[in-house]
């Protein structure tokens, strides 16, 4: 789906989609109608303009279904950083060529393929947005997750760290996160990676630095880890 208040811009996208082949495209000049259609139908790719009369595409982006690949199309390059913060997979600066459009579509197809791979693994893997790309992470490799303002840092058993633009709460609530336990306002751990613990901190496999337990979480976390250890 493409949303833009300029009919000529939508004609360009339609012409490029036809040239690319294999794309079913719906276009919308009215942003609110387009957003309703996107939320309802959840298309694979959404082309979204930013400055549209009284509507700002950056605000609209926050309401898009997370499974949609977002590609911003705008004449204003100053919004590129905002596009990164909103996890867009690409940013097309008007007027853009077919060659540039083609690269965006190839990137979108790679991201869609990664998502399908993760779904096929069911609860074994998740897809995380990192910069303008998606990456697949095995849930069993996660040691703990740290909240950092509007981002999270995902620490993995091999020493790698993945940064993604989402909240710790949203990440924990993903259906695949069966082992993650909130132990602090800023930390959630994979309970299966706990080596030792007390009421103030936990030591995790593959991570030398202990992770603190928040005062409000202490009793509940200690009881849960004690029960898990006995089991």
Q: What is the structure's pLDDT at 200? A: 95
106 token code pair: 């190839």
- Domain borders along the chain are 2-120, 122-230
- Check whether 189 has a pLDDT greater than 80: yes
Span 51-62, pLDDT tens digits: 888 888 888 887
For the beta carbon of residue 185, count every other beta carbon within 10 angstroms: 10
pLDDT tens readout for residues 75-92? 876 655 555 556 788 889
Tokens of 73: 């199309």
Distance (Å) of CA 60 to CA 65, 105, 129:
11, 21, 18
CB atoms within 10 A of CB 226: 11
Kindly give the residue spans of alpha helices, DSSP state H, lying in 21-162. Answer: 31-41, 57-61, 80-85, 98-120
As assigned by CATH, the class of the 2-120 domain is alpha beta
Residues paired with residue 207 on neighbouring β-strands, in sequence order: 204
What pTM did the predictor assign? 0.57
Task: Give the model confidence (pLDDT) of 115-161 as tens digits.
Answer: 666 555 555 777 776 655 667 788 888 999 999 877 889 999 888 88
CATH ID of 122-230, from 2.40.50.1020, 1.20.1530.20, 3.40.50.300, 2.60.40.2470 = 2.40.50.1020
pLDDT grade for 105, boundaries at 50, 70 and 90: very high
Please tell me whether residue 122 adopts helix, strand or coil conformation: helix
Determine contact, residues 7/14, Cβ cutoff 8 Å.
no
**Token couple for 231:** 């089991």
């Amino acid at each position: 789906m493409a949303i833009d208040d300029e009919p000529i811009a939508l004609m360009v996208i339609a012409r490029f989609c036809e040239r690319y082949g294999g794309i079913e495209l719906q276009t919308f000049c009215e942003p609110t109608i387009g957003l309703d259609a996107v939320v309802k139908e959840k298309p694979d790719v959404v082309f979204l303009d930013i400055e549209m009369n009284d509507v700002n595409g950056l605000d609209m982006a926050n309401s898009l279904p997370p499974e949609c690949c977002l590609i911003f199309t705008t004449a204003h390059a100053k919004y590129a950083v905002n596009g990164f913060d909103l996890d867009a997979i690409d940013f097309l600066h008007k007027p853009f060529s077919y060659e540039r459009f083609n690269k965006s579509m190839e990137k979108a197809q790679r991201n869609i393929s990664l998502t399908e791979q993760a779904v096929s693994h069911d609860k074994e893997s998740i897809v995380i947005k990192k910069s303008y790309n998606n990456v697949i992470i095995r849930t069993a490799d996660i040691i703990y997750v740290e909240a950092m303002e509007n981002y999270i840092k995902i620490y993995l058993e091999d020493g790698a760290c993945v940064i993604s633009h989402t909240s710790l709460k949203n990440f924990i609530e993903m259906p695949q996160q069966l082992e993650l336990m909130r132990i602090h306002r800023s930390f959630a751990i994979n309970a299966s990676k706990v080596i030792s613990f007390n009421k103030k901190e936990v030591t995790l496999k593959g991570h030398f630095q202990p992770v603190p337990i928040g005062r409000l979480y202490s009793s509940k976390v200690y009881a849960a880890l004690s029960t898990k250890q006995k089991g």
